[in-house]
Amino acid sequence: MIKEIIGILAQEGIEFIYAPQRMAQNVFHDVEKDFPYIHLEVATNEKIAYELAFSASIVKKRSAFLTNTHSLLHALDPIMSSTYMGVLGAMVVLVLRDTEEDVTYLGPFAKIPFVVEGEEKNFPQAIGFGIYISEKFGIPVIVELDLTCLKGEIKVEKKLTEKRADPAQFVKETRRWAATPSLRYSLHVLLNEKIRKIREEFELYQGNVSKINGETGFLTYRKKAVDLFARDLSYFVLSTVYPLPSRLVSTFMEKVSEVFIISDPYSVIQFQLESYREKLRPSYEEEALQKRTYKKEEVVYGYLVLRDTLGPASSMNMAHAIKKLNPDERVLALTYEDNFFHSGLAAFINTLYNGSDYHLLILTEKREAEIINFMEALNFKNYHFIRDFDELKFYAEKKGFTVLILGGKI
């Protein structure tokens, strides 16, 4: 799949492609010979991969950052800054959606244009459009390719791809790259103007499809919903989810009497349709979200288990805070080796500095030696290897900050 995606990027003149280690470490090595004019690089984590792609784009090159829905959130810091600073070449963020997790809310949250495509035959169109918008308006663009409803393979027309002759060129512009608060405000004004103009461009995108079949309709950005409802209802399948193409949507809304929003729980569409609130009906996802009962705290062998729900290695900081507030609580922070190296190093040092005594479980695949080298460099040796989760019970009563390493469970 990734090879076909790289083929599309090659046809669009992308010269630099970066991806995090967990996604492409083996794939990139296998396809390098097929794309000799493209620089393919695997970075340690998502944040680094995004920043490398952004660096290429600000020297007037075309670049791509390849990720999935979950990993995209790990690069949120540079995403937020890059939309303000803008690009001089083109930068497309390709999100391969392989789960039901939704990240479309990042569009309005980060003010970054967001395009969704759920049909493999339209993947080249969506990627090309994202690159076009990025280059024309000098802003990164997210293109989400929904892999959860693929019906076949992606067909890429083979073309001879030559290396672009344009040399790299960095433009020294203080107001963009090292903005003070006052300059940052001017970038905010400029960003709002870019979004307004991109909205106009989105009105013309061929990936937005609507059909009137009656007074009741639905609005969605998930193509698979059409197969379920299109025969009986009017529909509007929206690919350009942010910024919303207002005129197109208004035309559809005026032709129906009521509209159901079929989207993910955090709908990026609905809050952009405030002026049509009287026509909107609760979606299935909204009702399910309102009725959802949240599971009780996870407790294993007397441990309160904390996971990385707020970001990579966030469990470590949460565990430290809980132990300081409630010293008698037995807390187990659970993280993964990549998350540990992404954001856990600072959390580990903070734990030692402040004398916290929670227990840390690191699930590993092949980086145990790196983790041990880091801990021993800090003169920390209270770590233990365990063979399965049941061994946690032997450490539950142990006092002091303790690290448990469980291999082969990722």
φ, ψ dihedrals at 255, nearest 5°: -95, -5
Could you give the CA distance from residue 318 to residue 189 in angstroms, rounded to a whole number? 37
209-285: same fold as 2-202? yes
- Please list the helix, strand and coil fractions of the chain in percent, rounded to the nearest 5, in that order: 45, 20, 35
Pairing between β-strand 90-97 and β-strand 62-68 as defined by DSSP bridges: parallel
**Percent of the chain residues topping a pLDDT of 70:** 86
Confidence (pLDDT) at 216: 85
Among 222-231, 275-284, 357-366, the least confident range = 275-284
pLDDT score of 286 more than 60: no
Q: What angle do CA 280, 281, 284 make, to 5 degrees?
A: 135
The region of weakest confidence among 32-36, 225-229, 297-301 is 225-229
Does residue 300 have a pLDDT over 60?
yes
pLDDT at 285: 46
Query: Mapping DSSP to helix (H, G, I), strand (E, B) and coil, where does residue 27 land?
Result: helix
**Full-model pTM:** 0.76
Q: What is the pLDDT of residue 276?
A: 61
Mean pLDDT across the stretch 102-116?
92
Q: Can the peptide bond before residue 243 be classed as cis, meaning omega within 30 degrees of 0? A: yes
Provide the pLDDT confidence category of residue 330 given band limits of 50, 70 and 90.
very high
DSSP 8-state assignment for residue 342? I
Q: Are 65 and 43 a contacting pair, CB within 8 Å?
A: no
pLDDT at 406 over 50: yes
What's the pLDDT tens digit per position in 127-182? 999 999 999 999 999 999 988 766 656 666 555 455 556 778 877 877 777 667 77
> What is the fold of 209-285?
Rossmann fold (3.40.50)
Query: What architecture does CATH give domain 299-407?
Result: 3-Layer(aba) Sandwich (3.40)
Which one of 3.40.50.970, 3.40.50.300, 3.40.50.1820, 3.30.565.10 gives the CATH number of domain 2-202? Answer: 3.40.50.970
* CA–CA distance, 26 with 16 (Å, rounded to integer): 17
Q: What pLDDT is recorded for position 322?
A: 94
Token duo for residue 26: 């083996």
Torsion of CA 245, 250, 253, 254, to 10 degrees: -160
* CA distance readout (Å), 357 to 32, 48, 340, 354: 47, 31, 18, 9
CA distance 97 to 304: 31
pLDDT tens digit sequence for 10-43: 989 999 999 988 777 667 777 777 888 889 998 9
Task: Output the pLDDT for position 1.
Answer: 75
Show Cβ contacts of residue 298 under 8 Å, excluding neighbours closer than 6 positions: 304, 305, 307
| Lowest mean per-residue pLDDT among 197-211, 238-252, 293-307 | 293-307
pLDDT for the residue 288? 43
| Domain residue ranges in the chain | 2-202, 209-285, 299-407
pLDDT: which is higher, 31 or 304: 304
Share of the chain above pLDDT 90, in %: 50
Q: Which residue has the higher pLDDT, 278 or 67?
A: 67
